[in-house]
Amino acid sequence: MESPIRFALLGLLATALVFTACKKEDTADPAPDDAGPRLILKFKFDSTQVRLNNLGAPSTVPSGRGAQSPVFNRMSAHYVEFAPTATTWLGQGDIVYHAPETTLGGDTAIDHDLSIEVGQGGAFLNVPLSELSPGTYQWLRVSLAYQNYDIRFSAFNLPFTGTIASFIGYNTYIGSFLVKDSTVTVNANKLQGFWAFEVNDPPIPTPVEQGQAPGTTVVNPLFATSPVPAGSCVVTGAFPVPLTITGNETQDVVIEVSVSTNKSFEWLETDGDNVFEPANGETPVDMGVRGMIPTVQ
């Protein structure tokens, strides 16, 4: 589901605040001479985690759509913010990471060539803990940028597997990217929802398909008090136990960011069998993750 239209103007204002005025722009990789404890965020991909809609409520698959839980290979993030309370507006929390952007494709966009992609358990953020100001934080916001995962599909009544690369950030400049074994060259900006699909081990040579999904679910339980920009992928999740930073820590703070992949890949279902059949005109319609739970390890 797309973010509601009534917040479109608000979204534009928030975008200007968040993506042009971030106070910290550290890289996700540690510098060799960094000393002291680190702030480390690691992805977990969980197909059993509750499936939520963009308001943070439990969600079922809409009529006329099929869905499955893909097997994630890797993901990248564009922006990380810690929010003290439910009324902390987007951009007013503590921003600890903002990935490189570029205007090479025209409008400002995430620079995919410089994005850090990680798999299950991989650290997508590793910065000095001093980047996070002392305080207590109840919420984490992560703007997701890119996903790569495997899915099941059928063609000619035979089962196959394929790999989908999907770009879910607000706008991404893409030079080239690897789907599975095939490299796709774009050299242009692509808005949220751009995808490419490669058949794994096809019986005959098969070209990589490309397309644009009409919408991407962005889970935000704070919709009423802190909306996110329309067209962004700023996912919001609550710490089960609020995170408190004193400024006197001597050990790394490691946070597992568990994202729900529970039926996160949706397609237009033409015959009601819940089997993805691209040869029958079934196309991806939603690729957003279905929730996020950050837990201090």
Please identify which residue in the block is written with the tokens 């650290």. Answer: 123
Name the nearest CA neighbour of 128 among 37, 27, 253, 235: 37
In order of 12, 148, 150, 213, the CA distances from 197 in angstroms are 31, 10, 10, 12
Q: Identity (one letter) of the amino acid at 200?
A: N
Phi, psi of 36 (to 5 degrees): 90, 175
Do residues 36 and 128 touch, judged by C-beta distance below 8 A? yes
Looking at residue 30, what DSSP letter applies? P
Do residues 215 and 285 touch, judged by C-beta distance below 8 A? yes
10 Å Cβ neighbour count for 27? Answer: 14
Q: What's the confidence (pLDDT) of residue 49?
A: 98
How many whole angstroms separate alpha carbon 147 and alpha carbon 172? 13
| Residue 95 burial (C-beta neighbours within 10 Å; 0-12, 13-18, 19+) | buried
How many whole angstroms separate alpha carbon 84 and alpha carbon 117? 28
How many whole angstroms separate alpha carbon 233 and alpha carbon 278? 26
Per-residue pLDDT of the chain (297 residues), as tens digits, is: 333 323 332 333 334 334 443 334 444 554 445 679 999 999 999 999 999 999 999 999 999 999 999 999 999 999 999 999 999 999 999 999 999 999 999 999 999 999 999 999 999 999 999 999 999 999 999 999 999 999 999 998 999 999 999 999 999 999 999 999 999 999 999 999 999 999 998 888 889 999 999 989 999 999 999 999 888 889 999 999 999 999 999 999 999 999 999 999 999 999 999 999 999 999 999 999 999 999 999
10 Å Cβ neighbour count for 157? Answer: 7
Do residues 164 and 264 touch, judged by C-beta distance below 8 A? no
pTM of the model as a whole: 0.87
Do residues 62 and 156 touch, judged by C-beta distance below 8 A? no
Strand, coil or helix: what is 113?
helix
Residues with Cβ within 8 Å of residue 281, at least 6 apart in sequence = 268, 270
Q: In what order do the strands lie in the sheet with 183-191?
A: 101-102, 109-111, 171-178, 183-191
